[in-house]
């Protein structure tokens, strides 16, 4: 299990984030803190693998917390979750080595994606005694090794990425027509990409019955 420390001053947001993290396999919350000072104490005593931290907090904000944990040499990874969207803050967080930066408000799928990417990143690094440049590039850029080198004729990577991103943002299964409207393509085109993703095991089909006519297929990402 990957040990997680959550630092968030808003108790309602803290509870929501806690629930989101608990829904992702392989992660265990070992501590909760309401500000950076509490967070640093828990980092020193609990030695988490991952810290998920808000930036706007009393006593010691998220940037100060990042500065202190790097200054003290803690070998812990960080994901920032914050309402801050200005580039100066983004740069500072990245300079302190944050693995990911999630802007509020966000949906469960976004934090799930971040945590799954992080889990894959840790596993692939831990499996290596030494590493080649190509292997390092694959890890850093999260290359999908399940993806074929060439898509089937008539499909292109840009449209596939748009459709996958759209599905990631959806809380409920969606139809091919809704996907087509969401990404700005024809329904028959959207269906071809959805069929391709389903054959690769990337999406699940929910068949919905009701009303007059044929059942409707609705799609969700695994």
Q: Is the peptide bond before 105 cis (omega within 30 degrees of 0)?
A: yes
Looking at the DSSP assignment, which residues form a beta bridge with residue 217?
207
Kindly state whether residues 183 and 102 are assigned to the same domain.
no
151: exposed, middle or buried (C-beta count within 10 Å: 0-12, 13-18, 19+)? middle
**Res 165 pLDDT > 90:** no
Q: Return the CATH number at 161.
A: 1.10.10.10
Kindly state whether residues 63 and 117 are assigned to the same domain.
yes
Structure confidence at residue 105 (pLDDT):
84
Residues 17/6, Cβ–Cβ less than 8 Å: yes
Domain span holding position 90: 2-125
Structure tokens at 187: 């329904």
Rounded Cα–Cα distance for residues 65 and 40 (Å)? 7
Sequence-distant (≥ 6) Cβ neighbours of residue 93 within 8 angstroms: 55, 62, 63, 66, 80, 101
User: How many separate domains does the chain show?
Assistant: 2
Q: Return the CATH number at 61.
A: 3.40.50.2300
Rounded Cα–Cα distance for residues 54 and 6 (Å)? 9
Instruction: Note the helical H segments in 141-186.
Output: 157-169, 176-183
Structure confidence at residue 140 (pLDDT):
65
**Res 123 pLDDT > 60:** yes
Give the model confidence (pLDDT) of 26-44 as tens digits: 999 999 999 999 999 999 9
Structure confidence at residue 174 (pLDDT):
94
């Amino acid at each position: 299990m990957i040990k997680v420390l959550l630092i968030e001053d808003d108790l309602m947001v803290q509870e929501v984030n806690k629930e989101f993290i608990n829904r992702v396999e392989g992660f265990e919350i070992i501590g909760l803190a309401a500000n950076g000072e509490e967070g640093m104490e828990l980092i020193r005593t609990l030695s988490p693998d991952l810290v998920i931290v808000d930036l706007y907090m009393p006593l010691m904000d998220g940037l100060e917390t990042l500065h202190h944990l790097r200054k003290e040499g803690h070998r812990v990874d960080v994901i920032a979750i914050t309402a801050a969207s200005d580039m100066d803050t983004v740069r500072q967080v990245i300079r302190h080595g944050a693995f990911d930066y999630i802007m509020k408000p966000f949906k469960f799928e976004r934090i799930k994606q971040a945590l799954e990417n992080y889990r894959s990143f840790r596993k692939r690094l831990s499996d290596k005694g030494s590493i080649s440049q190509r292997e390092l590039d694959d890890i850093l850029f999260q290359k999908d090794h399940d993806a074929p080198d060439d898509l089937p004729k008539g499909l292109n990577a840009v449209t596939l990425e748009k459709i996958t991103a759209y599905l990631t943002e959806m809380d409920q299964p969606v139809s091919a027509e809704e996907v087509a409207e969401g990404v700005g393509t024809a329904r028959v085109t959207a269906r071809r990409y959805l069929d391709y993703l389903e054959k690769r095991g990337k999406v699940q089909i929910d068949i919905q019955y009701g009303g007059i006519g044929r059942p409707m297929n609705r799609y969700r990402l695994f």
